[in-house]
Homo-oligomer: A and B are copies of this chain.
Amino acid sequence: MIKAGIIGATGYAGGELVRILLGHKEVELKWYGSKSYIGQKYAEVYRNMFQLVENICSDDDIAKLAEEVDVIFTATPQGYLAGLLTEGILEKAKVIDLSADYRIQDVAVYEAWYKLTHKSPQFLKEAVYGLCEKNREAVKGARLVANPGCYPTCSYLTVAPLVQAGYLDLHTLIIDAKSGTSGAGRGAKVDNLYCEVNENIKAYGVAAHRHTPEIEEQLGYAAGEPVTLNFTPHLVPMNRGILITAYAVVKEGVTEAMLREAYEQAYGSEKFVRFLEPGVCPQTKWVEGSNYVDVNVVLDNRTGRVIMMGAMDNLVKGAAGQAVQNMNLMFGFPEDTGLNLVPMFP
């Protein structure tokens, strides 16, 4: 049994970490950090936790926290962890960062897209990008894991098998993404009010969303060459779920059978990525509350393009679930411990 602490426990991703860790038999959750609610009962901030969590929200003292726990999850704004992380902390506790601070290896790219100065680039090399299905072995030995963004996780898992197989004309790659509103966080903003989101859909961050370079970097590794693509997220009137619809021209001679074979190869032995049967389009509701990503692919012979689709719960595989999956790898637990969450439908 290990001890864990969360900094940023009162955001939606933090809340989901609590939900999952309460069902994890190897973890005792000791620290509910929350700048905004210090001293308040956690179960008053998330009343679903009434009688399940008796703890009080603590200050965000990461140095002290590192003394008390084996693993720290940071579900904090960009730049927060980078400003505080020290070698001393990493010597005492493993850190799984749900922010973007250590996801992008090129500091200049990070600083350009995030409009921040990176305060601790010295840890970038050590940080492992925690996309478990991709970097499983590296995660096992890591002290610092950069937990991937929600869009990058779903985008990568949806597209990577064909990139790796070398089947796509990479210059033609476009990712059109749709997300539920929990991805926007629990901050009180007019744009996220019920009446503004309900019965509405819009694109946002067009050609400017900060998950773009993260997706490009990871797909670049898969391709063995730099990838530049269009990524357009949309806000959908639902709480949870990300759907990716990606398009690319396939190289001459690539057949539907080859496409399917590439996915089978990639995911045949993966528990949390489900390659659907031919003709079945992924639906976010089919994975809600679970750590699964459902993917499928259609080849359009008329246009020579492949349509790749992926669905995921943004708070689980897109945040807290993957963080726990990383923790399992880092501590040698079976990878699915605490993650046998059956999708809830309807």
Contacts and interface: CB of A to CB of B under 8 A. Distances in A.
Given A48-B285, A274-B50, A285-B48, A234 B243 contact: yes
A240 to B, nearest CB: 7
Contacts of A309: 203, 206
B239 A237 contact: no
Contacts of A340: 23
Contacts of A188: 188-190, 193
B303 A240 contact: no
A60 interface: no
A320 B55 CA distance: 31
A176 B346 contact: no
What is the oligomeric copy number?
A: 4
Interface in A262-314: 274, 276, 280-290, 294, 298-300, 302-303, 305, 307, 309, 311
A63 interface: no
Contacts of A344: 19, 48, 289, 344
Given A47-B276, A230-B247, A247-B247, 20 more contacts: A19-B342, A48-B345, A51-B274, A176-B247, A178-B178, A180-B199, A181-B195, A188-B188, A196-B346, A198-B237, A199-B238, A199-B284, A200-B283, A200-B285, A202-B281, A203-B245, A203-B309, A207-B298, A230-B303, A289-B344
13 contacts: A12-B195, A47-B286, A188-B193, A192-B195, A195-B239, A198-B239, A200-B283, A200-B285, A202-B281, A202-B311, A203-B245, A207-B307, A237-B238
Interface of A: 12, 15, 19, 22-23, 46-52, 172, 174, 176, 178, 180-182, 186, 188-190, 192-204, 206-207, 228-230, 232, 234, 236-241, 243, 245, 247, 274, 276, 280-290, 294, 298-300, 302-303, 305, 307, 309, 311, 340, 342-346
